[in-house]
Amino acid sequence: MAGAVKRAFRYRFYPSPGQAAELVRTFGCVRLVYNMALQARTEAWTLRRERVGYNATSAMLTGWKKTGELAFLNEVSCVPLQQALRHLQVAFTNFFAKRARYPTFKSKKRSRRSAEYTTSGFRWRDGRLILAKMTEPLDIVWSRPLPDGASPSMVTVSQDAAGRWFVSLLCEDVIEQTPATGAVGVDAGLDSLLALSTGEKIVNPKHERRDRAALARAQRSLARKVQGSANRVKARLKVARVHARVTDRRRDYLHQLSTRLVRENQTIVIEDLTTRNMVKNHRLARAISDAAWRQFRTMLEYKTEWHGRNLVVVDRWFPSSKLCSACGALAERMPLHVRSWTCRCGRIHDRDVNAARNILAEGLSVIACGGGARPQRDSSRPRQSSTKQEPPRATQGIPVL
């Protein structure tokens, strides 16, 4: 069985001086058009209670190009400028749907430098990509081949803080959805990046910690440089390169890990972690950010969809660490420093592996009966009298691993 999906293939390229200058101008014009359109829409609503949509801002762009002050907008391709207006429209749509905050202005120093080209803004012939307003193809490093017969429907050119140039090609790809069996529960942590319900623990590489000394040296050097000097620009690039190296290693590791889990299992059960709230703990914020749990979950979400797998997300309040996966007894307290504990039924648990097994059992109960179930209790053990209502039992046939 095969499924067609839209995939973006990202490559590094090395522009000529003329191409680099053209792309830098395009980035600046994209940022300017986005900010001017945002200001116009904000003023229209603030002063006149008038909603301005994409069509109105597109007409504004045509007028801006005819003025003497903004005539330079005609020097770059109009396609990335129109795409910037479309992105602003999406930002407002998400805001009105309460999925995001109010759009903010793009910063010259902090915002991502990118330009998006649709099919009318580039030429693709025999593996050669020529962007609008350019005469020569981009010098792309083809680190992996595109799918056979693939033709890009959209091209995004970007430059990161370290000065590296990237091009992303959006193509249609056919993915073979090979059948898989089994299910696995995944518990995210810091000592071990992941603990699986099979008992396997995946080591946490701690990519940021490996380069922490180099990053500190580069940042101290940057702090000593004079504002606006050429040496400060060089020092800033050194800091950015360290960050880029850490980010690349982390992303590659998570890609390999998520791909392996998706290929080996039909059902993957994870926990709904609120990383945004967890990083408020200043003692653990750096380690949590380095673990990149949210990035890992995002990879699982689209890869399970590509390969026809099931991804089940367990409620964040489910007591996976305090619940005995053998008898279902719930411990009263479970501080973070407790890495193993003994249940009253006599079973000795590794904290993370036990949590992964409980997550798996809860995920299977969600699939079977809509959730709310717990691992099967041991009926031979007498229950203690209590006025509190016990949690419902798991359905028969759900394995306790």
pLDDT in tens, 42-78: 999 999 999 999 999 999 999 999 999 999 999 999 9
The pLDDT assigned to 267 comes to 94
Q: Active site residue: 22, 290, 352, 362, which one?
A: 352
Residue 2 in this model has a pLDDT that exceeds 80: no
Least confident of 57-61, 117-121, 147-151, 230-234: 147-151
Under 8 Å between Cβ of 157 and 117: yes
The pLDDT value given to residue 325: 86
d(CA 395, CA 116): 51
Q: Give the rounded distance of the alpha carbon of 190 from its chain centre.
A: 19
Q: Kindly state the average pLDDT of the residues 386-391.
A: 38
Provide long-range contacts, Cβ within 8 A and 24+ apart, for 258-263.
258/296, 258/299, 258/300, 258/303, 259/303, 261/184, 261/186, 261/300, 262/300, 262/303, 262/304, 262/307, 262/309, 263/178, 263/180, 263/307
Taking residues 210-218, report their average pLDDT.
96
Name the E strands within 104-240.
113-118, 122-125, 128-131, 140-141, 154-159, 165-176, 183-188, 192-196, 201-203
Share above pLDDT 70 across residues of the chain, in percent, rounded to a whole number: 92
Q: At 172, is the pLDDT very low, low, confident or very high (cuts 50, 70, 90)? A: very high
β-sheet with 2-13: strand ranges across? 113-118, 154-159, 165-176, 2-13, 140-141
Q: Is the predicted pLDDT of residue 393 greater than 80, yes or no?
A: no
**Which of these, 154, 133, 150, lies nearest to 83 by C-alpha position?**
154
Find out whether 303 and 262 touch, Cβ atoms under 8 Å.
Answer: yes
Q: Is residue 43 among the annotated active site residues?
A: no
Which residues does residue 330 pair with via DSSP β-bridges, in sequence order? Answer: 323
Report, as an integer, the average pLDDT of 105-114. 93
Average pLDDT, the chain: 89
pTM: 0.83
pLDDT score, position 312: 93
Q: Could you report the per-residue pLDDT of 313-352, keeping only the tens digit for each?
A: 998 888 888 888 888 888 888 888 888 888 888 888 888 9
How much is the pLDDT for 385?
37
Which one is catalytic: 22, 116, 208, 271? 271
Per the residue annotation, which of 187, 208, 290, 362 is the catalytic one? 187
Per-residue pLDDT tens for 225-271?
Answer: 999 999 999 999 999 999 999 999 999 999 999 999 999 999 999 99
pLDDT score for 257: 96
What is the structure's pLDDT at 302? 94
352 in active site: yes
Per DSSP, what are the bridge partners of residue 219? none
CA dihedral 202, 207, 209, 210 (to 10 degrees): 110
Q: What are the sequence ranges of the domains in the chain? A: 2-176, 183-308, 318-401
Catalytic (active site) residue 187: yes
Does residue 85 contact residue 33 with C-beta atoms inside 8 Å?
yes
**Residues near 3 by Cβ (< 8 Å), separated by ≥ 6?**
174, 175, 177, 306, 308
pLDDT of amino acid 376: 41
Say what the pLDDT of residue 381 is.
Answer: 40
- For residue 374, name the pLDDT band (cuts at 50, 70, 90): very low
Q: What is the pLDDT of residue 181?
A: 86
So what's the pLDDT on residue 1?
A: 62
pLDDT at residue number 150: 87
